[in-house]
Amino acid sequence: MVIAAEPGWENAAAGQQYSFWKEFWRRLRKNKTALASLIFLLVLVAVALLAPWVAPCDPYLGEMSLALKGPSASHWLGTDELGRDILSRIIYGARISLRVGLIAVSIALLTGSFLGAVAAYYGRWLDNLIMRFMDIMLAFPSLLLAIAFMAVLGRGIENAIIAIGIVSVPEYARIVRGAVLSVKENDYIQAARAIGGSDLRIIFRHIMPNVLSPLIVRATLGISTAILDTAALGFLGLGVQPPYAEWGTMLGAGRAYLFNAPHLVYFPGLAITLTVLAFNLLGDGLRDALDPRLRQ
């Protein structure tokens, strides 16, 4: 009887150590949509970091004689109501949107992971207390809850980051709690307890590494949600304040000129759409690449 070798072990038989990350990268490369999204986001990050050298004009310097001009050779995406170059403002706006997305998701990821792990590991009244509070937060639409926090904290980019990070905590707490509940009764966790491992060491050294895959996927998707929330707060006038360039703020300012200068709305909206779509497609690709059930 011929026994089929389990995929991935043929390399080990040849003397090559099997690498999870090599397999992950191989599977991600096969997903052309996710790979294209990754390349787009890397280019966007590079453009945002190099904005002072890439932007063709000063994003805050306007000339009223050029106000509301359409796309041209001198201003590829046109100018806004103050004569400022829209392309330059979109490039600088990428810095703010990516910054808010990354920092807000980091806040939500760290806080939610800690609360979810503690709730699942200790259980009983602590689990009930933490998760009921998370359920209360989930009962409110995230944008409305963010607006409520902004009303308390005040306007500005720093407060927007805090508000968006807080309203995203319950999602990560629930993901980590479910994963920890399925892991904490395994034999190696019982062995770690038997040899005297502390609770924090067991949680962060033995349990959390096993729940990283769903967290990575959710964090990628969470960045797109944070960018949308930032744009929504800016559109409502609660987020980043003028004259700073932010995509949602640009949309809010351009809506008054929608019919006579639609490019003020089209291009910032396109930037939001493409960036959010890229993060969502990359998240789907990461989910497929990290899911062990889909490995061939």
Rounded Cα–Cα distance for residues 112 and 126 (Å): 15
Closest by alpha carbon to 261, among 59, 66, 79?
79
Rounded Cα–Cα distance for residues 13 and 106 (Å): 40
In a domain, 21, yes or no: no
Rounded Cα–Cα distance for residues 118 and 125 (Å): 12
pLDDT at residue 49, rounded to an integer: 93
In a domain, 220, yes or no: yes
pLDDT at residue 1, rounded to an integer: 40
In a domain, 176, yes or no: yes
Within a 10 A sphere around the Cβ of 265, how many other Cβ atoms?
18
Rounded Cα–Cα distance for residues 225 and 173 (Å): 17
Contact between 109 and 174 under an 8 Å Cβ cutoff? The reply is no
Rounded Cα–Cα distance for residues 268 and 271 (Å): 5
| SS3 at position 85 | strand
pLDDT at residue 276, rounded to an integer: 92
Contact between 281 and 33 under an 8 Å Cβ cutoff? The reply is yes
**Distances in Å between the alpha carbon of 259 and those of 60, 68, 74, 215?**
24, 11, 23, 43
In a domain, 229, yes or no: yes
In a domain, 71, yes or no: no
Parts of the chain with a pLDDT under 50: 1-17
How many domains does the structure of the chain reveal? 1
Closest by alpha carbon to 263, among 46, 85, 36, 44?
85
Rounded Cα–Cα distance for residues 156 and 153 (Å): 9
Give residues with Cβ within 8 angstroms of 129, minimum separation 6.
none
Exposure string (b/e) for 134-163, b if CB count within 10 Å is 16 or more?
beebbeeebbebbbebbeeeeeebebbbbb
pLDDT at residue 274, rounded to an integer: 94
Range of the domain at 187: 48-54+78-294
Give residues with Cβ within 8 angstroms of 283, minimum separation 6.
217, 218, 220, 221, 224
In a domain, 5, yes or no: no
Rounded Cα–Cα distance for residues 163 and 153 (Å): 8
pLDDT at residue 199, rounded to an integer: 66
* DSSP code, position 3: P
Q: Residue 255: which CATH number?
A: 1.10.3720.10
In a domain, 38, yes or no: no
In a domain, 169, yes or no: yes
- Helix, strand, coil percent content, the chain, rounded in steps of 5: 75, 0, 25
Q: Could you tell me the two tokens for 182?
A: 């399925």
Q: Could you tell me the two tokens for 248?
A: 């949602």
Reading phi first (left if > 0) and then psi (alpha if -120 to 50, else beta), residue 62 is in beta
Rounded Cα–Cα distance for residues 140 and 168 (Å): 11
**pTM listed for this prediction:** 0.82
Within a 10 A sphere around the Cβ of 183, how many other Cβ atoms?
18
